[in-house]
Amino acid sequence: MSMVRVRFAPSPTGYLHVGGARTALYNYLFAKKNGGEFILRIEDTDEARSTQESLRGVIDDMVWLNLLWNEGVDPVTLRDQGASGPYKQSERQYIYSEIADNLLNANKAYYCFLTDEEITTQREAAIKAGRPPQVNSPYQDWTLEKAKERLATGDKAVVRFKTRDLKKDYIFTDLVRHEVKFPSDMVGDFVILRSGGMPVYNFCCAIDDHMMKISHVFRAEEHLPNTLRQLMLYEAMGWQPPEFGHISLILDEDRQKLSKRKGAVACGQLKAEGYLASAVLNFIALLGWSHPEGKEIMTVDDMIQAFDVSRLNSSGAVFDRVKFKWMNAMHLRALPNMDLWQEIQPFLAREKMDLPKDPVWQEKSIMAFKTSMETLADAIELYKPLNDISFTILPEAEETLMWEPTKTVLLAWRDLVQASGKDYLSEAEFLKLQDEVKNKTGAKGKNLFMPIRVAVIGKPHGTELKILVPLIKTSSLVTRANKVLEKIG
């Protein structure tokens, strides 16, 4: 096999969503597995919708996911980087127009002066007659000279690719779904150049894939019909098409294609919600692909090792947030303690918490909370109790406060903590102290620990006290106990 070169070709018209990320991932994995190259091409021919901000956003998300490319645009400057550029289609117009001219001269394409109204009328009529809504342009029979004369008068025209004289069926072997057969009348004469001269997706795509020597194209199933158009183009230009693999769609809960409109499935949003890039990658990888041994929790390296096109699934997959969250929790736990501490900092910062700077304390806190975190954002609620500013007695504590032994337990607790003379209580010291409270007051079971818990975190349920208490200064424990005692009166 010659050099493997794959590409991911986003259009900078919005954020990167999980569907796009998965396409990028599969291309990336395939390249890495085969010692090939991964190219990032920017499909920005939609002048109206493409924006610099979107490009920036998509690139940042790719970088966050660590799906880095060998050629494309520089992730920082966004300037071209590589030998097959330009990589932004908007800068490749000279290439497209030259090829369009060739097609025009060869009578394989023609100028079409149909107005929008005329096209709409044709489409409606076609549907009514039970035919696919294709245009049937009267201009396909015009000579190039005649068209150019009209163009010279200032009239605008698109360039359409002529499909009428093509062979009947196009057959190709898809890497994911095996043999696919399209009747050529499935598509009408499609536009390759807009009236402004800007090329259209299928045209650029075929040209760029060829010129950038792309060997394999993995893209979403929605592009299957486009493949027919591109195959026609390859044929017209006498080029060898790449291998195609059309991967299944990611669906929402209603089994519809995951759309930007409906779901919060932007990679950037997942990041903001506290998901790890490694978990996102792991999860989307499994939406349409499986490890030969059924392994579920994987690093990207694991995936590269095991990646095999034959294990790509051809049916659509629902994006299940519940399982995704579980997987994120697994990745969270696999992180070294201090790495996890770093990861939660942006989330804690949102709440302006004042937590100890001592790394020993920090690591201890992570060890205490690691198994209760599903997303990084969960750290906020977990760390809040450690933060004096946010100590409040919650309504759910009311019942405990009304119990008969509560007051005596709290008084004993406060006094013993105060008398300890320590800055922080160790777990053992806390347990011993708790025993003393028990002996002193005769309270046991929930009559004992629930009041104490309220005096520590403001509510009767939550993280184990033996974990929490060693993370809170004794002076703070006393202050908190006093607040609760005040409330009881």
Partner RNA sequence: GUUCCCAUCGUCUAGGGGCCUAGGACACCUCCCUUUCACGGAGGAUACAGGGGUUCGAAUCCCCUUGGGAACGCCA
Q: Which of residues 224-243 bind RNA (CB under 7 A)?
A: 224-226
**Interaction of residue 150 with RNA, rule CB under 7 A:** no
Rounded CA separation 20/8 (Å): 9
Minimum gap (Å) between residue 388 Cβ and RNA: 21
**Interaction of residue 314 with RNA, rule CB under 7 A:** yes
Minimum gap (Å) between residue 419 Cβ and RNA: 19
Site size with RNA, rule: CB under 7 A: 89
Q: Answer yes or no: are the C-beta atoms of 363 and 337 closer than 8 Å.
A: yes
Query: Binder to RNA among 136, 299, 371, 392 (CB under 7 A)?
Result: 371
Comparing CB distances to RNA, the nearer of 236 and 306 is 306
Query: Binder to RNA among 110, 161, 201, 275 (CB under 7 A)?
Result: 201
Return the closest-CA partner of residue 402 out of 484, 333, 334: 484
How many other β-carbons are positioned within 10 Å of the β-carbon of residue 242? Answer: 20
Q: Which residues pair with 289 in a beta bridge?
A: 312
**Interaction of residue 154 with RNA, rule CB under 7 A:** no
Comparing CB distances to RNA, the nearer of 132 and 138 is 132
Q: Answer yes or no: are the C-beta atoms of 38 and 69 closer than 8 Å.
A: yes
**Interaction of residue 313 with RNA, rule CB under 7 A:** yes
Minimum gap (Å) between residue 138 Cβ and RNA: 15
Query: Binder to RNA among 166, 318, 335, 377 (CB under 7 A)?
Result: 318
Q: Where does this chain touch RNA (CB under 7 A) — which range of 74-82, 190-198, 270-278, 391-399?
A: 190-198
Comparing CB distances to RNA, the nearer of 76 and 402 is 402
**Interaction of residue 272 with RNA, rule CB under 7 A:** no
Query: Binder to RNA among 23, 248, 278, 406 (CB under 7 A)?
Result: 248
Comparing CB distances to RNA, the nearer of 220 and 485 is 220
Handedness of CA 244, 245, 246, 251 (dihedral sign): negative
Rounded CA separation 135/230 (Å): 18
Rounded CA separation 35/70 (Å): 12
Comparing CB distances to RNA, the nearer of 49 and 213 is 49
Give the contact letters, 22-51, x = binds to RNA (CB under 7 A), - = no.
---------------------x-xx--x--
Give the contact letters, 79-118, x = binds to RNA (CB under 7 A), - = no.
------------------------------------xx--
How many other β-carbons are positioned within 10 Å of the β-carbon of residue 249? Answer: 19
Query: Binder to RNA among 249, 376, 386, 456 (CB under 7 A)?
Result: 249
Rounded CA separation 301/292 (Å): 15
Rounded CA separation 24/310 (Å): 18
**Interaction of residue 365 with RNA, rule CB under 7 A:** no
Tell me 135's DSSP state: -
* Cβ-proximal residues to 245 (8 Å cutoff; 6+ apart), any chain: 174, 175, 176, 216, 217, 218, 219, 309, 312
**Interaction of residue 486 with RNA, rule CB under 7 A:** no
Query: Binder to RNA among 255, 262, 422, 487 (CB under 7 A)?
Result: 255
**Interaction of residue 282 with RNA, rule CB under 7 A:** no
Query: Binder to RNA among 13, 337, 390, 476 (CB under 7 A)?
Result: 13
DSSP 54-110: HHHHHHHHHHHHT---SBEE-TTT--EESSS---BGGG-HHHHHHHHHHHHHTTSEE
> CA distances (Å), 229 to each of 55, 76, 190, 226, in order?
27, 35, 8, 5
Read off φ and ψ for residue 372, nearest 5 degrees. -105, 5
Minimum gap (Å) between residue 198 Cβ and RNA: 7
Minimum gap (Å) between residue 148 Cβ and RNA: 17
Minimum gap (Å) between residue 82 Cβ and RNA: 19
**Interaction of residue 449 with RNA, rule CB under 7 A:** yes
Q: Answer yes or no: are the C-beta atoms of 481 and 410 closer than 8 Å.
A: yes
**Interaction of residue 286 with RNA, rule CB under 7 A:** yes
**Interaction of residue 375 with RNA, rule CB under 7 A:** no
Query: Binder to RNA among 51, 70, 143, 256 (CB under 7 A)?
Result: 256
Map tokens 């997942």 to a residue.
Answer: 270
Return the closest-CA partner of residue 110 out of 101, 119, 123: 101
3-state secondary structure of 448: helix
**Interaction of residue 355 with RNA, rule CB under 7 A:** no
Comparing CB distances to RNA, the nearer of 240 and 310 is 310
Q: Answer yes or no: are the C-beta atoms of 209 and 9 closer than 8 Å.
A: no
Query: Binder to RNA among 63, 144, 175, 194 (CB under 7 A)?
Result: 194
Query: Binder to RNA among 40, 58, 187, 231 (CB under 7 A)?
Result: 187
- Residues 166, 171, 174, CA angle at the centre, nearest 5°? 140
